[in-house]
């Protein structure tokens, strides 16, 4: 198709519209000539930052339930009635859960007494069915009452009795389900009460208390349904896990150890994560894989490759860890009669997991990883390539100085960046000049503003627009960019360690907040082309950015107005007549805050037999036109 004067064409076809402001930017979408686009382009990166594994997307709502991490103490527990409670390491629940909670009841007690767990700054109490579990040791035959109660109001939302027969010689496990009514706020606790008359003057032990609301796909030990559903609404194609810094650990010994995150939760010791909080690992390797399967995502598993934050192993010291990585892969993908495949079957999964994408470490261009990475990477790559020729292998950096001089093939390189909004927009053409024969992944990206004195903030319209402009740049290059993920995904308000994030929540009803960045990700991910199309125009990029693509059904035009002025865009998509226009618009600094959502996407039908669509964009707006 030859370049032509689009202004004349618009006038001729639609009868010289009276443009209210500046003349429109005119775009004509060609229907051939572009590059293919990766079908996996948009996905998610997840790690436990911001208390978002425990206390976030994982369904279990009670905190410090296994006394894990560096200094658990009685964090989140409180006595109910005339009792003493303490952490008792002489009565471990299991080899992994090395303490329990001792409940000592005073002489002469006659009432129901016990203890509360106050969750992650409260327990979300909804009009739902809950499942609760606990382990107990001590002679007791009779009723135990479980309650969900307002911590200061004392309002009881659920009150449920179960009969137990517990003995003093060992811990036994009890599980029950009950209904609750909804609490108006998040200030709630879970309570376990025993008949004080039966235990007066004695003590009993309790451990690994658990409380689950409905879980995604009703999985046992599953994800919180409400949180998982908004993640699913992003229609992500892949999940990069378990980190991020979380895979690395601060030292070698507290790296993410796959084999300590599998099997019954009572056998998982948990660890102090590099985000300086205890991690139960109830969200473990198999749970990540179920998450992928239930959302139809490709797992993108990161292997530990010798680099922790403050300690790096290389040379022969790496050998046992390479072996360990191979065991992990056998656990996931080996036949049921292989050593580790058998373990997977024991843990409830007969069929090998589907696994194609495997990353070798995280960010080996930072925290001292660069120097030894060429050697570490090569050793991992060679053995993985030999034993698993079908895996797609991904290096954790694309800096040449951190990689072997000659790159093995096939290989994908992963690069991460967090930038101020202007800088991210400045990277619009960053990928344009990359060699076309080297596939890459943007495993983490996002706009940050770095200006808030407390370092905590929520993404606002300008940031979302900068991400949209940058992602148009990514889409233009999605022949080589195979995957891209905004990060981090989630934050639990009150536990923020890294912000902004796409989604936030706390224990209060209605706190699940979808940021402006979330909506941009959703608009881009749910409207994907398989072929990128050239766009003809006389206008330069900036402050308006655009890109076009098509799939089997539609043509898609994505627009980001990264500027203070309204824009009018005349978009010619020949041989189309109608479709829809998605928009996200709002004042530059407006954010969706918890309990104060200001900006929601809008959708309108568009209809034009001429195939020319006039799109008006407010300042700081993102739009996606889908027509056929």
List of residues contacting ligand AHR (CB under 6 A): 47, 49, 243-245, 362-363, 416, 444, 487-488, 498
Q: How far is the CB of 310 from ligand AHR (least distance, A)?
A: 15
Identity of the residue, 307 or 344, whose beta carbon is nearer to ligand AHR in the bound complex = 307
Q: How far is the CB of 50 from ligand AHR (least distance, A)?
A: 9
Cβ 549 vs Cβ 533: under 8 Å: yes
Contacts of 171 (CB under 8 A, 6+ apart): 93, 94, 100, 135, 136, 137, 205, 207
Identity of the residue, 133 or 414, whose beta carbon is nearer to ligand AHR in the bound complex = 414
Identity of the residue, 330 or 467, whose beta carbon is nearer to ligand AHR in the bound complex = 467
3-state secondary structure of 401: helix
Cβ 474 vs Cβ 441: under 8 Å: no
Distance between CA atoms of residues 556 and 566, nearest Å: 21
Please report the DSSP string for 254-292 in residue order.
GS--GGGSSS-GGG---EE-TTSSEE---S-HHHHHHHH
Distance between CA atoms of residues 553 and 529, nearest Å: 9
| Strands (E) located in 16-137 | 25-29, 44-45, 77-80, 83-88, 100-105, 112-117, 129-137
Identity of the residue, 37 or 50, whose beta carbon is nearer to ligand AHR in the bound complex = 50
Q: How far is the CB of 580 from ligand AHR (least distance, A)?
A: 33
Q: Kindly report the CA angle at 544 between 538 and 548, in degrees rounded to 5?
A: 75
Instruction: Compute φ and ψ for 108, nearest 5 degrees.
Output: 80, 5
Identity of the residue, 490 or 624, whose beta carbon is nearer to ligand AHR in the bound complex = 490
Identity of the residue, 244 or 621, whose beta carbon is nearer to ligand AHR in the bound complex = 244
3-state secondary structure of 377: helix
Distance between CA atoms of residues 209 and 176, nearest Å: 12
Distance between CA atoms of residues 150 and 153, nearest Å: 5
Q: How far is the CB of 612 from ligand AHR (least distance, A)?
A: 42
Look-up of token digits 């076809």: 13
CA neighbor of 326 nearest in space, from 404, 401, 380, 274: 380
Look-up of token digits 């309570």: 191
Q: DSSP assignment, residue 407?
A: -
415 class by beta-carbon count within 10 Å (0-12 exposed, 13-18 middle, 19+ buried)? buried
Cβ 357 vs Cβ 392: under 8 Å: yes
Cis amide prior to 233 (ω within 30 degrees): no
Identity of the residue, 498 or 524, whose beta carbon is nearer to ligand AHR in the bound complex = 498
Q: How far is the CB of 274 from ligand AHR (least distance, A)?
A: 8
Contacts of 471 (CB under 8 A, 6+ apart): 484, 520, 524, 558
Cβ 27 vs Cβ 536: under 8 Å: yes
CA neighbor of 608 nearest in space, from 587, 565, 569, 579: 579
Identity of the residue, 97 or 227, whose beta carbon is nearer to ligand AHR in the bound complex = 227
Look-up of token digits 């964090």: 75
Identity of the residue, 196 or 249, whose beta carbon is nearer to ligand AHR in the bound complex = 249
Q: How far is the CB of 246 from ligand AHR (least distance, A)?
A: 6
Q: Directed axis angle between helix 339-346 and helix 319-333, to 10°?
A: 50
Q: How far is the CB of 418 from ligand AHR (least distance, A)?
A: 7
Q: Directed axis angle between helix 319-333 and helix 285-295, to 10°?
A: 40
Identity of the residue, 48 or 146, whose beta carbon is nearer to ligand AHR in the bound complex = 48
Identity of the residue, 340 or 457, whose beta carbon is nearer to ligand AHR in the bound complex = 457
Instruction: Compute φ and ψ for 364, nearest 5 degrees.
Output: -80, 10
Identity of the residue, 257 or 448, whose beta carbon is nearer to ligand AHR in the bound complex = 448
Residue, CB closest to ligand AHR: 244
Instruction: Compute φ and ψ for 257, nearest 5 degrees.
Output: -105, 105
Q: How far is the CB of 52 from ligand AHR (least distance, A)?
A: 11
Distance between CA atoms of residues 262 and 346, nearest Å: 10
Q: How far is the CB of 272 from ligand AHR (least distance, A)?
A: 16
Q: How far is the CB of 495 from ligand AHR (least distance, A)?
A: 14
Q: How far is the CB of 249 from ligand AHR (least distance, A)?
A: 12
Identity of the residue, 133 or 444, whose beta carbon is nearer to ligand AHR in the bound complex = 444
Q: How far is the CB of 53 from ligand AHR (least distance, A)?
A: 13
Distance between CA atoms of residues 116 and 108, nearest Å: 22
Identity of the residue, 140 or 238, whose beta carbon is nearer to ligand AHR in the bound complex = 238
433 class by beta-carbon count within 10 Å (0-12 exposed, 13-18 middle, 19+ buried)? exposed
Identity of the residue, 488 or 586, whose beta carbon is nearer to ligand AHR in the bound complex = 488
Q: How far is the CB of 448 from ligand AHR (least distance, A)?
A: 10
Q: How far is the CB of 8 from ligand AHR (least distance, A)?
A: 49
Cβ 244 vs Cβ 168: under 8 Å: no
3-state secondary structure of 369: coil
Q: How far is the CB of 473 from ligand AHR (least distance, A)?
A: 21
């Amino acid at each position: 198709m030859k370049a032509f004067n689009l202004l004349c064409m618009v006038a001729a076809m639609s009868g010289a519209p009276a443009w209210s402001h500046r003349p429109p930017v005119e775009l004509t979408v060609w229907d051939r000539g572009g590059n293919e686009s990766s079908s996996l382009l948009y996905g998610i990166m997840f790690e436990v930052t911001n208390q978002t594994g425990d206390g976030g997307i994982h369904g279990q709502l009670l905190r410090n339930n296994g006394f894990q991490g560096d200094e658990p103490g009685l964090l989140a527990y409180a006595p109910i009635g005339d009792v003493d409670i303490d952490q008792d390491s002489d009565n471990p629940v299991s080899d992994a859960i090395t303490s329990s909670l001792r409940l000592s009841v005073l002489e002469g007690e006659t009432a129901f007494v016990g203890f509360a767990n106050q969750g992650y700054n409260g327990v979300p109490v909804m009009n739902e069915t809950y499942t609760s579990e606990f382990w107990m040791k001590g002679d007791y035959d009779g009723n135990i009452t479980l309650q969900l109660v307002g911590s200061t109001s004392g309002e009881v939302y659920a009150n449920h009795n179960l009969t137990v027969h517990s003995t003093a010689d060992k811990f036994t496990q009890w599980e029950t389900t009950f209904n609750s009514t909804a609490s108006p706020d998040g200030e709630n606790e879970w309570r376990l009460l025993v008949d004080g008359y039966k235990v007066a003057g004695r003590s009993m032990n309790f451990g690994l208390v658990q409380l689950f609301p409905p879980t995604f796909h009703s999985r046992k030990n599953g994800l919180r349904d409400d949180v998982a559903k908004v993640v699913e609404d992003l229609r992500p194609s892949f999940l990069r896990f378990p980190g991020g810094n979380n895979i690395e650990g601060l030292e070698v010994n507290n790296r993410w150890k796959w084999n300590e995150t599998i099997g019954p939760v009572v056998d998982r010791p948990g660890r102090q994560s590099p985000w300086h909080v205890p991690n139960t690992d109830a969200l473990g390797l198999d749970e990540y894989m179920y998450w992928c399967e239930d959302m139809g995502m490709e797992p993108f598993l990161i292997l530990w490759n010798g680099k922790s934050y403050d300690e790096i192993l290389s040379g022969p010291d790496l050998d046992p860890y390479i072996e360990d990585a191979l065991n992990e892969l056998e656990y996931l993908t080996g036949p049921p009669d292989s050593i580790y495949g058998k373990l997977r079957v024991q843990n409830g999964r007969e069929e090998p997991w589907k696994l194609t994408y495997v990353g070798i470490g995280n960010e080996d261009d930072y925290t001292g990883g660069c120097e030894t990475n060429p050697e570490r990477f090569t050793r991992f790559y060679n053995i993985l390539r030999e034993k698993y020729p079908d895996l797609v292998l991904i290096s954790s950096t694309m800096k040449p100085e951190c990689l072997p001089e000659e790159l093995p093939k096939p290989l994908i390189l992963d690069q991460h960046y967090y930038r101020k909004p202007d800088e991210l927009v400045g990277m619009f053409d960053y990928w344009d000049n990359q060699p076309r024969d080297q596939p890459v992944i943007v495993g983490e990206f996002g706009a940050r503003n770095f200006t808030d004195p407390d370092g905590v903030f929520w993404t606002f319209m300008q940031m979302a627009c900068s991400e949209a402009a940058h992602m148009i740049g990514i889409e233009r290059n999605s022949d080589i960019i195979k995957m891209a993920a905004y990060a981090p995904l989630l934050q639990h308000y009150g536990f923020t360690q890294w912000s902004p994030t796409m989604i936030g929540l706390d224990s209060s009803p209605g706190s699940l907040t979808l940021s402006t960045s979330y909506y941009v990700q959703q608009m881009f991910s749910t409207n994907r082309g398989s072929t990128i199309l050239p766009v003809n125009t006389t206008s330069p990029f900036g402050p308006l950015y655009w890109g076009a693509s098509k799939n089997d059904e539609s043509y898609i035009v994505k627009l980001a107005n990264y500027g203070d002025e309204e824009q009018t865009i005349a978009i010619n998509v020949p041989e189309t007549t109608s479709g829809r226009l998605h928009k996200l618009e709002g004042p530059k600094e407006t954010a969706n805050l918890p309990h104060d959502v200001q900006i929601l996407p809008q959708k309108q039908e568009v209809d034009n037999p001429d195939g020319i669509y006039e799109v008006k964009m407010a300042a700081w707006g993102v739009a996606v036109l889908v027509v056929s």
